[in-house]
Amino acid sequence: MFSTPPLVFFFKRETPAAVVATTRNDFILWSVCVVSIASLIVFLLLVVLDVLTRKVFKSKKTPPLIEWNGGLKIPLVGGMLEFLKGPMKLMAKAFPKYGEVFTVPVFHERITFLIGPKVSEFFFKAKDVEMSQKEVYEFNVPTFGKGVVFDVDHQTRAEQFRFFADSLKSERLRTYVGMMVKEADAFFEKWGDEGEVDLLDSLSELIVLTASRCLLGREIRENLFSEVTALVHDLDKGMVPLSVFFPYAPIEAHRKRDKARKDLALIFDKVIQARRESGSLEPDVLQTFIDARYKDGSKLTNDQVLGMLIAVLFAGQHTSSITSTWTGLLAIANKERVMPYLEQEQQKIMKKHGTKIDFDVLAEMDELHFAVKEALRMHPPLIMLLRKAQVNFDVETSDGKKYTVPKGHICATSPAFAHRMDSVFKNPNTYDPQRFKSDENKFASYIGFGAGRHGCMGETFAFMQIKTIWSVLIRNFEFDLIGDLPEPDYEGMVVGPKHPCKIRYKRRDRKKNGLMKSPSTMSKSFKA
């Protein structure tokens, strides 16, 4: 074992410096041993806990635990190895064997998958005190900031969601449309008469422009756009898969994220303070959050206003750019079948309203609405939705199996997987916007924007934004797809199409505004 420094000093007559060095080395060695022993004890305890919980979960009433490699179960690691290969692969492998409900052990946690509308009903209808978002989305706190969304209790978060809802009221949305049209017209005018673009890159850029105008405010869009965009980029890149488990891990992506968050706070503090002092009223989401008041009369701090803005931006930026891209790619890939509907709709609307695009005009674009909705059905950017069960609850599968999901389980449902189930949608792998002409789907069948209590508050804004972009595009251009339709990129936190997403465009005759085919001439082929 380790000798004590006084004895060493007495017998070896070493100098005080040597004593200090020996003491330091002994302390380091002792610390390493203590940490190692403690880690081993914790590991063994977790193994015992894992084995015990597996025995408890053998009850017929609880969901089946997945087993891989001929039934081999690795304590602690469990289904983590399969999970890391990709949730879609895991579900595709587990669903045929276990059905609509199964549990994946990940370290000391249990993730119970609820796939399909019948078993996910409680997931969407439950109150926050029954199915909580906070525990599974707390990794966003370093990005959003303290005191907002997932860093507050249920009651405070409910009030903050009311602030979100206020920013998305119809009178606000009517104002946003004009901003979106202005940005889209200016953006596509730069395309010229013909050329080739990467659709995902182009629409991502445009979405950032419109988001800056509608959400972040005039000051940012007109004076600080480049600087803020660069910081938001670093903030975005700071959210990596590791962040979900270790949001404060000392990695370069997190360091850049934290610096970007601080720099954004400095910029917005000046903008917000200037608005507060001048009393100016701007028609944007920033102003809504500045004016917001809790029931007790208190207001958001400047940093919390920024946190709310970041939350809104992250909720919509990638999802809108990805969905607008898939809307175009799928329609262009099936242009003989789908484009006639979209073109004739624009022609009809222009005869009625001229070139005007506003909130009411967008509401008349049913065919375009169906196209966006179908693109989102086939390729939802968020392939998994998560909650943590705060109570035990029962589920019954389509084939009559009954399970009790225990309190403490992380619950997951998947729009991407459920939307491709034959029992939910007829010919689910076929791109067919016309399927939505008759809305006969059961509750939670279509969950591109969630459902029930957890439906996305930004759904109307998202449809409005995407329909604005594509109404401008369809009115002004004809398109061809270059190469094959891209595959989904499941490597990202938010799933979009793989690059490249190249299309060829040609501007329509500005006087004639193009010739539009009749849907009766359509071919019967599909591409999905």
- Which residues belong to the annotated binding site for heme? 456
**Strand order of the sheet with strand 131-132?**
101-106, 109-114, 410-413, 385-389, 131-132
Q: Which two tokens stand for residue 484?
A: 């094959």
- Are 236 and 207 in contact by the 8 Å Cβ rule? The answer is no
- Are 270 and 219 in contact by the 8 Å Cβ rule? The answer is no
User: Residue type for 437, please?
Assistant: K
Other residues' Cβ atoms within 10 Å of the Cβ of residue 386: 17
Annotated binding site: 456
Compute the distance between CA of residue 471 and CA of residue 367 in angstroms, rounded to an integer: 11
DSSP-based three-state secondary structure for 505:
strand
Reduced 3-state DSSP string for 376-425? HHHCCCCCCEEEEECCCEEEECCCCCEEEECCCCEEEECHHHHCCCCCCC
Q: Which two tokens stand for residue 233?
A: 């980029």
CA atoms within 13 A on the CB side of 491: 5
Q: Residue 488: enclosing H or E segment and its boundaries?
A: strand 488-489
Query: For the CA atoms of 257, 258, 262, 264, what is the dihedral angle to 10 degrees?
Result: 10
